[in-house]
Structure 1
Amino acid sequence: MLFGKLLPKEGNFFELFNDHGTQIVEGARAFMAMCENYSDITLREKFAAEVDAHEHHADRVTAEVNRLLHRTFITPIDREQIHSLINAMDDILDLLQDSSETMQLYDVRSIPEDVLRLAELSAKCCERVQHAVTLLPKLSQPQTAEAAIKTCEEIDKLESDADRVMRSAMSRLFREQEDVRELIKLKAIYEQLESISDRCEDVANLIEGIVLENS
């Protein structure tokens, strides 16, 4: 019992989740802006740097959550849920950064409309993730729990929309793109962008589980 008394009973996990959620949204918006201004090299590099900055900030938040788990005796929700949720959230920003870097490493010269559409859906998914995370501290309230479930359902729908856009983009790519190198580049980018919404859905599934256990 003495060991338990020496450790804090609760950490600021929800504040850290909110901070990470903010980085996800800002990173997604910077990525979207990069895609929209891709032909302008100066703006492209500016927004790519912003994506990197938000990813690095989020990494620090993730590390702090994991450190706090080791120092906290009683957590506000299950320890494994905290660990899984923060790492799933971190995967979203990792993919945003990977997508940004892939476009530059592959020397993509122009951005097709399908990339912009997938980037837009990714940004919307990220915004819903952030909203769902802000509801976690008040899940004991039935209305809040219901709102969290509804938000997770919205993420699922957006993920399905991204699936459809990606399938349509792939079909068009293989029908119309004659340059094999460009086909390979764009195929990889489409798959990465669609994976962002998949990771958002992973977060939604985790939050749904937290709601069911804590509301």
Structure 2
Amino acid sequence: MLLGKLLPREGNFFELFNQHADRIVEAARAFSHLVANYNDLHLREQYNRDVDNAERAADRVTHEVNRLIHKTFITPIDRDQIHKLINTMDDVADLMQDSAETMALYDVRAMTEEITRLTDLSVKCCERVKEAVALIGKLGDPGCAEAVLKTCEEIDRLESDADRVMRSAMSKLFREQPDVLEVIKLKAIYELLESITDKCEDVANVLEGIVLEHH
């Protein structure tokens, strides 16, 4: 029992989840600005840095959550759920950074309509993740639980939209792009962007599990 008195109870996990979700949206919006201003080298570099900074800040939150799991005697939700949620969220931020880095490394010359559409869907998914995460700290309220599940359904729909854009983008790429190098570059970018929405759906699945277990 002495151990229970020495270790903190609850911890500020929900606040940290919210901080991480803020960084995800920050990274997504910076990436969106990067795509929109791709032809301006100065702005491109600036938004690349913004994505990096948001991803690093998200990493720090992830480390803090994983540290707190071991120091907290009674956690507000299951430890495995906390661990899975924060690390799946961190994967979203990592993929955003990977997408920006890959564009720079592969020297992608111009944005395509498909990159813009996948980016828009990624931003919307990240914003919905933030909305859902903000609600899980209030699961005692039945209305909040319902709102989380509804937001998770929206994330699923956005991920399905991204799948359709991806299939169409691949078909167009292989039919219309004569430059093999460009095909390789754009295929990699499309896959990364689509995987952001996939990972947001994984976050939604974790959130749904938390809600269903607590109701």
CA distance in 2, matches of 1:179, 1:109: 13
Query: What's 2:205 paired with?
Result: 205
CA distance in 2, matches of 1:56, 1:96: 12
Q: CA shift at 1:5, angstroms?
A: 1.3
Task: Check if 1:125 corresponds to 2:125.
Answer: yes
- Give 3-state SS (helix, strand or coil) of 1:75's partner: coil
1:137 maps to a residue whose letter is G
Q: CA shift at 1:3, angstroms?
A: 1.1
Identity of aligned residues (%): 69
After superposition, where does 1:10-25 map in structure 2 within 5 Å? 10-25=10-25
Instruction: Provide structure 1 residue ranges, at least 5 long, that are not aligned to the other structure.
Output: none
The alignment of Structure 1 onto Structure 2 pairs a total of residues equal to 215
CA distance in 2, matches of 1:104, 1:30: 15
Q: Which runs of 4+ in 1 moved over 6 A?
A: none
CA distance in 2, matches of 1:15, 1:137: 8
Q: CA shift at 1:34, angstroms?
A: 0.1
1:151 maps to a residue whose letter is T
After superposition, where does 1:33-182 map in structure 2 within 5 Å? 33-182=33-182
1:115 maps to a residue whose letter is I
Q: Deviations over 1:53-85 (max 9, x none)?
A: 000000000000000011100000000000000
CA distance in 2, matches of 1:203, 1:47: 25
- Give 3-state SS (helix, strand or coil) of 2:140's partner: coil
Q: Over aligned residue pairs, what C-alpha RMSD do you find? A: 0.5
CA distance in 2, matches of 1:8, 1:43: 45
- When normalised by structure 1's length, the TM-score is 0.99
Instruction: Provide structure 2 residue ranges, at least 5 long, that are not aligned to the other structure.
Output: none
CA distance in 2, matches of 1:12, 1:3: 19
Query: What's 1:190 paired with?
Result: 190
- When normalised by structure 2's length, the TM-score is 0.99
CA distance in 1, matches of 2:156, 2:132: 13
Q: CA shift at 1:4, angstroms?
A: 1.5
- Give 3-state SS (helix, strand or coil) of 2:111's partner: coil
User: Which range moved further: 133-142 or 49-58?
Assistant: 133-142
Q: CA shift at 1:168, angstroms?
A: 0.2
Q: CA shift at 1:10, angstroms?
A: 1.2
2:122 maps to a residue whose letter is S
1:87 maps to a residue whose letter is N
CA distance in 1, matches of 2:26, 2:8: 31
Q: Deviations over 1:175-213 (max 9, x none)?
A: 000000000000000000000000000000000000001
Q: CA shift at 1:101, angstroms?
A: 0.2
1:5 maps to a residue whose letter is K
Q: CA shift at 1:139, angstroms?
A: 1.0
